[in-house]
A = this chain, B = another copy of it.
Amino acid sequence: MKISELAEETADALRNAGEAALRITTPSIRLGVTGLARAGKTVFITSLVQNLLAGGRLPFLDAAAQGRILRAYLEPQPDDTVPRFDFEAHLQALKSEPPDWPESTRWLSQLRLTIEFRPQGLLDRLTGRNRLHVDIVDYPGEWLLDLPLLHLTYAEWSQRAVGHARGMKRRIPEAARWLAFMEKIVPDEAAAEARVVEAAKLFKAYLHAARDDERTLSTQPPGRFLMPGDLEGAPALTFCPLLLAADGRAVRRSYREMMERRFESYKAQVVKPFFRDHFARLDRQIVLVDALAAVNGGRTALDELKQAMTEILRAFRP
């Protein structure tokens, strides 16, 4: 599925028309900032905004280097149901003695920065366009890892994920524990709710452990399993791969049917809305990478980071 198709699904044509009309008066740019956990998203945004607000030196930004930025200030963001990026609190944390690391990104947040500048182009000078809204959208890079899931069937994903867990088994005890539990589940047997809950819990424990272990730093989808927010405990987030022998159809009311249905539900009700409502609307994207931690973690960590970044960057290719 292409991003353009996702964008087309947005039925709310009126809202888009309204936004387009607004852009005539003041153009706006949606700037996505993402990266895996601990990549430094919050610190990056906070310092960028603070530098623009305080008129700090930003030689890499042409308009700033040429002295064309007159002033910058914060304005109310356009999206009412998206949390505001808590710039003031993050700045406070960084400025405190001793400085505190700001709370990490757990969800999507947004901040509107309005920049007044001296127009350069003839058209801008004629139309008097000298303001730009920059809507900064901060979100966990883990969510981008969900994009490849849209192309996979449940069986395909199961095979990949089980293969990955087997590779991790010796380093990450949680991977071995989850695999051992799954050995006892027969995919075509009638599903027992309690065992599905337990299997998903063990799978999540493995995903968390693989991410937090500094020798692996492995970030595997589904991204919301690591950051569930209000969906914590919902069936759409309560599934895991099965040890499937071969491709085929699921028996009614079996583990396979239940897991497969929830996997599809995750894609349709969690992944797609994010790409449609947020990702597809971005104009520019910044991806932050903590390369040093991976180098420090060794070969496996570096390979995992490379793989995760390849998956993430694939989301930006047309």
Contact = CB atoms under 8 A, between A and B. Distances in A.
Contact of A77 (B80, B82, B83, B235): B235
Contacts of A80: 234-236, 262, 265, 269
Given A74-B194, A230-B230, A236 B86 contact: no
A117 interface: no
A232 interface: yes
In the complex this chain forms, how many copies of it are found? 2
Interface in A73-91: 74-77, 79-84, 86, 88
Contacts of A157: none
Contacts of A82: 234-235
A293 interface: no
| Chain A contact patch, size range | 20 to 34
A258 B81 contact: no
A76 B229 contact: no
Interface in A219-248: 229-236, 238
B81 A233 contact: no
A300 interface: no
B234 A88 contact: no
A274 interface: no
B231 A81 contact: yes
B109 A79 contact: no
A277 interface: no
Contacts of A233: 83-84, 86, 109
Most buried by B among A81, A82, A191: A81
Interface in A52-81: 74-77, 79-81
A81 B269 contact: yes
Contact of A230 (B84, B229, B269): B229
Enumerate the 8 nearest inter-chain pairs by beta-carbon distance, A residue then B residue, closest first.
A83-B233, A80-B236, A80-B265, A230-B230, A229-B230, A80-B235, A84-B233, A83-B234
Given A74-B193, A79-B234, 8 more contacts: A76-B191, A76-B193, A79-B235, A80-B265, A80-B269, A81-B265, A83-B233, A86-B233
